[in-house]
Structure 1
């Protein structure tokens, strides 16, 4: 009766995808709800089920042949070029391989499209292993490539999608199968060029195969077609050990105070290193003919109340403002000097991020620097690196580890904890804890969050229209009784 596609199904470069198709019992009117979910077919219990489609099944009587429009092009129909059809579709973001090119001929007449469709022979395609062809016509009530070819014909006449989007047949209504096993078909697209159309497929003799009352072609952002992880949902950041990189022998520079003795360590290892009070002094040295360094270290130490900054919030806020403004000016000065284009600036903090469970982030005054430098990294990849030193005074950072972090060319953000290098990685939030097969997914296809009745839920952006809707849903749908809207 209807089918709505929500999320594309990316296929992994290796491995398989586990599918879950869930059909409910019939309601009093004979309708059943069907949902389609997927997750990677591996042993990782962290992957949530991802919803791709949902719809309604019903046993309504199919239309009789007399009700169907003719699919043979009438006299006077205008033949359309099919030799360049797939090139034109590719220019609009729809790329099809040889196993999916089933449109053999196209005509236009009075706003409708007519087409001859066929299922490409998988056995004739290159690199098809024996025994892995499509299995013959009896495997599919309607061969997917045949139905896809009908959509391709409709796409060829649809209005183009906005920039950064592609069209997708994401809403189907009234799809009925009249006969099975066909490998060729004639097609009529009624309403072609309007963004929604009706499809009629018959065999060459005009007997009905498939009818679709309406299919909507709507724009989909290209970013939604990301072929990354097959699973999505809630994600979290996990700091993961990464191998150390050897400190390069190239020229180094240290700006400002050097409490960890990094310049001395570099010099002891035979590296060329120069210390400068600040970036202005470094640029003055370049004016005097000093060669630009490969890596520049900028240590920033703890400021503000050392024991508990929350005891003096005004002092903490002022220190955060001062440190951020100072670093912003330094980054702008760094980027303005073409002589430093090939150098990397390593900003070294201590205890400014929580990299491990239990980290208390004692240096809140410098925590905003991470957000500032991450923004600069997104605008100028490869120019900056962030390194957070171990906040535990009983476990001071080994200078060799810090230098390794600063020289690490592949990691823009690193933390040193107990002598090990950690880098942030996004991972799927765990939704089942014992690895057992998941229950049927939630209605919205995402992980189900648990809210304690005695806890407070913080909603940032909670004073806007969307925040108000979310707050209402938390109360009515999840039983939340305490909310903080900011």
Structure 2
């Protein structure tokens, strides 16, 4: 991997006792128009970070998180940069040729690439999203609330006024009503189907219905954030069936799930002001009692909760346990043992076999993932005998009695199934040697793409030398 011409902007670098310095320019191929600071220019300004680590024994580090970023001028094509240590972070100040400030970063957190020492098993562990029960302390004084319900009729029992929209609530506050601690926004549910997977309503209109809910939700949230009179309140968005917090949960509200993704971004932009709450029942007095502590202190839960069986659950990343990662002894391959969701995929035992005539046995090093695999896992592929993993790359272990042009140890790639496993038998005519310089991962991503293009351009389009062809950017 090498930097392209756009990212070769460093002209001079040097270090001193108080930091690292550089002169960087934006190559002519890049245009700064429309940027506060062109990303390639800012990237070049960060290249001298390695000088700060020289002699420390630390491994290579790369930018991870920015704090206190200020853009003082736009349109710069050249910068003079100073990088200094700020505790465990780095501070950046960049000026133009005249010394006028262009951009500064108060604290740039760096992440170690991990090359300074071999990674431990813990370093390589996978993480999974879990929803453990969180003990939330109820406030001494319950928070007050209001609801935005579209028609002005209260949804949650147990007190609180209802308003059709933000404007009506703002008008009420202007008329003397107290500012509520919490403003509840119940979202209408849009289901993709019933418990048996039968489409609910017009399935063809499902994207439109989801878009309508998310568009209306975004407009309401923006209006609420812009209302100065409600600056001291928190918006609590209520959904039901939008997240799966337990193994037995099913996501039934696709619009609510989309709204959660949308509003997570809004939460990061407005910390502490928005709470997402997914309920397992219609809003009632008990639900509000469970939410009272979350509204009073959303930082303890990250502002995202699921009420399940009278308990408050919050999303947390946890290391995947050995049980979750354990594979069967011997040979195996992935298969849909419970078709319908991707969680229904599991390793199943496989039988070892010597290659017959026209076959090779391959130790799989990488397998390409195709949408066909998703359909098989979901039980939606038309051929019930199809198996997951149809392209990949690996090392030849053994060859059939009539295979003379491949030998154990050869690196090969091509079409074979089931490819999600340690070994696979493949037809000799469907694999070939990996070109020099290709990794196993690169080789595993090629076969279906290449064959699709070959079939489309040669067999279907019957292209000839000298002809022009238009290939849409979204083509498979």
Fold in common (TM above 0.5): no
TM-score using structure 2 length:
0.44
Task: Mark the structure with the bigger radius of gyration.
Answer: 1
TM-score using structure 1 length:
0.43
- Which one has more relative contact order, counting CA pairs under 8 Å at least 6 apart? 1
